[in-house]
Amino acid sequence: MAKKSNVVANHEENYSFFKCVEEYFDKAASLLKEKYDDGLLAQIKACNSTLKINFPLQVGNKVEVIEAYRIQHSHHRLPTKGGIRYSELVNEDEVKALAALMTYKCAVVDVPFGGAKGGIKIDPKKYTEAQLEKITRRYTAELIKKNFIGPGIDVPAPDYGTGPREMSWIVDTYVSFNPGNVDAYGSVTGKPITQNGIRGRTEATGRGLAYGLNEACSYPDDMKKLGLSAGLKNKTIVVQGFGNVGYYSALFLEDYGSKIIAVSEWNGAIHNPQGLDVKKLSAYRLKKGTFEGFPDGKFIRNGNSALELECDILVPAALENQINLSNADRIKTKIIAEGANGPLTPAAEEILLKKGVMIIPDMYINAGGVTVSYFEWLKNLSHVRFGRMQKRFDMSSNQNLLNAMEHLTKRSVSNDMRDSVGRGADEIDLVNSGLEETMITAYQDIRRVWKENPKVKDLRTAAFVVAITKIAESYKSLGIFP
């Protein structure tokens, strides 16, 4: 075990997620002090608005007091944007940390939002659907009363413990309070398609992670230093967490030719060195509620021990603080892609960087969700589905091009080619194309800082430098700071 430092004492024994984020910020900001005023850096770092709510809920014959939060970290861009999570672990420190990460995340991928986050301190499994709806609608009403939600103010989205169902309750409540507001459906993203949602939002974070990892692994020089070949083909991958992010990450990485050798959950893990069939595994767990008994792998009762399996890429896609001093020295991977927010403590990261592990930070690699949420928000404000205006025109143009090719070459174009090349883009095609472009461009920005600045030793610091620079320039353009 590595010797404990002040960082360790602060973050392992007295763990504060928000202090971890602030420490990462300070590390990057110290490299920018000659460029930016201390007051400007302090403003970027500070949380701007905090709302704590307590409201009653009748459960059977008793009344429970529900604790909830909405925190807006930065108003350098409006609206603010961030998910709402339902978890018994929700607290002000966690929500502040997640709101701050959203600010930097949006800046890294050039999504014009400030960061925000919300949370309700409940275990959703302990409540009926009717009770969850009542909690969600009351929470939304409180946000409306305090002016903490709106298409130009603050736009929530799903997070841990929530999904399209909860977002539909939120938007319905908002619309009820704001009759005649034609942009009301832009008050929340991650909605069902039938409620003006967007295709591709559900799988966006996992798909974005796969796009980002594919780009990161495409540089032969970077991979050579890790003892790996370029590309994702045949890379061995362990995924922690098999919820929305973990499942879709595994599915799309499998499409790239990677081998998903282990998947872990709170009630156990499954391991197969030859690779798991992700869809088959998901169907089994959906039916049984566990990986135990899955015929194509070995069941491991202690799910978290799967983090320590030897692999090329580890994807922690559960909750924060999963890799810490207790297990960091036993992690045997070349690359960590942070599908969850804050899965590594700073002390653990220090150990892993010294071991030569490439850590692709959460504020970049899991930004697919907010990117596609941005597309959904644009769709709601424009009141037109992506592809509707140009799909048939593009299809006609492509078919005319194929016809011209046939005429010039005197050879017929196959039906498969006509189907793939001749068709116009649907909404999902445009969403995925925009997401891929976003993830590739953002990684190139981060890598450029990492490679060109000798003081930047890791990708997380590089990502923070990119984010802080963009936010600082936004503030400076307002004439507030010198």
| Rounded distance between C-alpha atoms, residue 201 and residue 190, angstroms | 6
Among candidate residues 105, 117, 259, 391, the one labeled active-site is: 117
| Rounded distance between C-alpha atoms, residue 307 and residue 316, angstroms | 8
In a domain, 44, yes or no: no
pLDDT of 425: 77
Give per-residue pLDDT as tens, 107-135: 999 999 999 999 999 999 999 999 999 99
Token look-up 């559960």 returns 318
In a domain, 456, yes or no: no
Evaluate if residue 174 carries a pLDDT over 80.
yes
Evaluate if residue 440 carries a pLDDT over 50.
yes
Is residue 8 very low, low, confident or very high in pLDDT (cuts 50, 70, 90)? Answer: very low
Identify the domain containing residue 180 by its residue range.
49-195
pLDDT of 13: 56
pLDDT of 6: 42
Residue 194 contacts residue 218 (beta carbons within 8 Å): no
pLDDT of 390: 79
Would you state the structure tokens that stand for residue 436, as one six-digit string?
Answer: 């891929």
pLDDT of 14: 66
The average pLDDT across 81-107 equals 96
In a domain, 91, yes or no: yes
Could you write out the three-class secondary structure of 2-47? CCCCHHHHHHHHCCCHHHHHHHHHHHHHCCCCCCCCHHHHHHHHCC
What is the DSSP-derived secondary structure letter of residue 190?
S
pLDDT of 398: 74
| Rounded distance between C-alpha atoms, residue 16 and residue 20, angstroms | 6
Sequence-distant (6+) residues with CB within 8 A of 410 are none
Residue 242 contacts residue 285 (beta carbons within 8 Å): yes
In a domain, 413, yes or no: no
| Rounded distance between C-alpha atoms, residue 398 and residue 404, angstroms | 10
Catalytic status, residue 117: yes
CATH code assigned at 174: 3.40.50.10860
Of 297, 204, 296, 189, whose CA–CA distance to 247 is shortest? 204
The answer, yes or no, to whether the previous bond of 79 is cis (omega within 30 of 0) is: yes
Give per-residue pLDDT as tens, 346-394: 999 999 999 999 999 999 999 999 999 999 999 999 998 877 777 776 7
Evaluate if residue 153 carries a pLDDT over 80.
yes
In a domain, 224, yes or no: no
Q: How many residues does the chain have?
A: 482
In a domain, 375, yes or no: no
Give per-residue pLDDT as tens, 198-230: 999 999 999 999 999 999 999 999 999 999 999
Evaluate if residue 275 carries a pLDDT over 70.
yes
Mean pLDDT of the chain: 91
The average pLDDT across 5-23 equals 67
In a domain, 153, yes or no: yes
Would you state the structure tokens that stand for residue 270, as one six-digit string?
Answer: 């499954």
The average pLDDT across 420-430 equals 79
Residue 66 contacts residue 81 (beta carbons within 8 Å): no
Residue 310 contacts residue 333 (beta carbons within 8 Å): yes
In a domain, 189, yes or no: yes
Residue 103 contacts residue 24 (beta carbons within 8 Å): no
Is residue 404 very low, low, confident or very high in pLDDT (cuts 50, 70, 90)? Answer: confident
- Of the chain, the percentage scoring pLDDT greater than 70 comes to 96
Please state which of the ranges 89-93, 266-270, 310-314 shows the lowest mean pLDDT.
Answer: 266-270
Evaluate if residue 12 carries a pLDDT over 80.
no
Could you write out the three-class secondary structure of 238-287? EEECCCHHHHHHHHHHHHCCCEEEEEEECCEEEECCCCCCHHHHHHHHHH
pLDDT of 401: 79
pLDDT of 405: 79
Would you state the structure tokens that stand for residue 98, as one six-digit string?
Answer: 């997640």
Cα dist from 9 to 93, 254, 337, 343, whole Å: 18, 39, 25, 18
What is the DSSP-derived secondary structure letter of residue 412?
P
The average pLDDT across 179-185 equals 94
Q: How far apart are the first and last CA of the chain?
A: 47
pLDDT of 422: 65
pTM, full prediction: 0.89
Number of structural domains found in the chain = 1
